[in-house]
Amino acid sequence: MKPTWNRREFLQRTSAATLAALAAGAPVASLLSGCSGWRGRTNGTADTVILLWMAGGMAHTETFDPKRYTAFEKDMEGNRVLSTFPSVPTVLDGIHFSEGLESIGSVMDKGTLIRSYVAADMGHILHSRHQYHWHTCYEPPQTVAAPHLGSWIAKELGPKNPVIPAFVDIGQRFTVGEAEELKAFHTAGFLGNEFGPFFIPDPSQGLESVRPPVGMDASRFERRNQLYNELISNSPVGEYGSDYQKESLRRSMEQAYRLLNSPEAKAFDLSTEPKESYDIYNTGRFGLGCLLARRLTEQGARFISVTTEYEPFMGWDTHENGHTRLKDMKKLIDGPVAQLIKDLDKTGHLDRTLVILASEFSRDMMVEGRPDAKVQEQVNQPDILSDLKFYGMHRHFTDGCSVLMFGGGIKKGFVYGKTADERPCKTIENPVQIDGIHQTIYHALGIPPDTQYEIEGRPFYTTPDGKGKAVKELLA
């Protein structure tokens, strides 16, 4: 039986792992990691990754895998409802998306649609735990602070441009609910701070992240930088950190300082974007995050995450008013995602940029978890829908999720996997787990599947036990 860790236990164990990471020495690259070239790297088909993160649980039947549409009627049976939006055709023959995603549907000839991602069975479902699992490939809690996918990539490949942070995270604030849980996987873990994310909570203020505050001249900023280095010694890193972790933190600050005075810093200033282009992306913070991701890709960022942001009961976390809420969510993502793909394709960057759109799990109105492994229900979904607020996908569903992939060596105009047409709309062909997603990404980047470091006297792989395998059917 899977353990049902609660929020407090999750935090206690991840905090302990973080302290252990601080105390750990330099991670030692195993000689078993590959057998040819530097760290066994092969020639990949991608240099950059953009992750478009639909935080909160995006229902596959309401987005990229629509089922039979049933319009709302007062006092209707909830079990009748599989999709609350009509389906619309995409550019691919016979492939439909849910209404409101027409723009993304128009660029699917440039990418692959996975309809069979299966999220892990981890007992009682917590968004932050499933997000931790998706981003690190490790089920929490861990005794070792597992690095984020972007940190592995930053460590193994290094920066494309030494001035631009290798790993940029756009759109997630840590002043909202479950902030500490979110911080647990927004980290480089034992790899060291220099490979962690450069945070830009609001892309419209991205320039503020790379220049001194208004009224602070360069000399004053320099003094602050020196003071910061002194403060490191009095911080938890200074108290508990190994020499490796301390130096890694200092190097991360030096990288940020170099960016401050570089011409590339202008990439963070969205006010320089032509109005016609800016207006297409300007659907909110996520849309502008897609614009910033495009600009940073052009300047040499290695890994960029853009999120709709996880905030409990907001965004894709549709515990009620699912149908009406998703109308707004689709407006936020449809135009910007499609334009990002078009822009990257037009400039030739899509050939070497792998773009992924994903969410931690899906949703269903009647099933929590998956049919053969139901878990505690977290929302009161009546069998009879007397109010429009109950019309939509509210419960967490882990047995069928959609993932989009574009560019970077991925097949074009391809659909992989299948879910059932009737409830439960679970995966019935070609299931894909998270280790397969991660290893497909690493394969595209030329990072060998046996990449590992020795931590606490044992090997720690990019995917658990080094057993993950790329889904070769997705690769061109």
Domain count, the chain: 1
pLDDT at residue 244 in the model? 59
Report d(CA 295, CA 162) in Å as an integer.
16
Tell me which residue of 362, 360, 354 sits closest to 412, measured CA to CA: 354
CA dihedral 173, 175, 177, 181 (to 10 degrees): 70
Task: Decide if 14 is inside a domain.
Answer: no
Of the pLDDT bands very low, low, confident and very high (cuts 50, 70, 90), residue 92 is: very high
Task: Decide if 6 is inside a domain.
Answer: no
24 vs 403, residue with greater confidence: 403
Of all residues in the chain, the percent with pLDDT exceeding 90 is 63
pLDDT at residue 179 in the model? 83
pLDDT mean over 51-63: 98
Q: Dump pLDDT digits (tens) for 277-289.
A: 999 999 999 999 9
pLDDT at residue 35 in the model? 37
Does position 5 have pLDDT exceeding 60, yes or no? no
Task: Decide if 408 is inside a domain.
Answer: yes
Task: Decide if 216 is inside a domain.
Answer: yes
pLDDT mean over 105-121: 97
pLDDT at residue 248 in the model? 60
Of the pLDDT bands very low, low, confident and very high (cuts 50, 70, 90), residue 458 is: confident
- Which of 7-21, 211-225, 277-291, 381-395 is predicted most confidently? 277-291
Strand partners, 88: 97
CB 304 within 8 A of CB 297: yes
- pTM summary value: 0.87
Task: Decide if 12 is inside a domain.
Answer: no
pLDDT at residue 228 in the model? 47
pLDDT at residue 370 in the model? 84
pLDDT at residue 80 in the model? 94
pLDDT mean over 120-149: 90
Task: Decide if 298 is inside a domain.
Answer: yes
Task: Provide the 3-class DSSP secondary structure of residue 220.
Answer: helix
Tell me which residue of 261, 241, 196 sits closest to 22, measured CA to CA: 241
Of the pLDDT bands very low, low, confident and very high (cuts 50, 70, 90), residue 9 is: low
Does position 466 have pLDDT exceeding 50, yes or no? yes
Residue 342 sits in a domain whose CATH number is: 3.40.720.10
Does position 428 have pLDDT exceeding 80, yes or no? yes
263 vs 16, residue with greater confidence: 263
pLDDT at residue 142 in the model? 83
Q: Dump pLDDT digits (tens) for 232-275.
A: 455 554 555 566 566 666 666 666 666 767 778 889 999 999 99
Report d(CA 286, CA 283) in Å as an integer.
7
Does position 399 have pLDDT exceeding 90, yes or no? yes
Residue 265: give the domain boundaries. 34-449
pLDDT at residue 381 in the model? 79
Task: Decide if 464 is inside a domain.
Answer: no
Task: Decide if 476 is inside a domain.
Answer: no
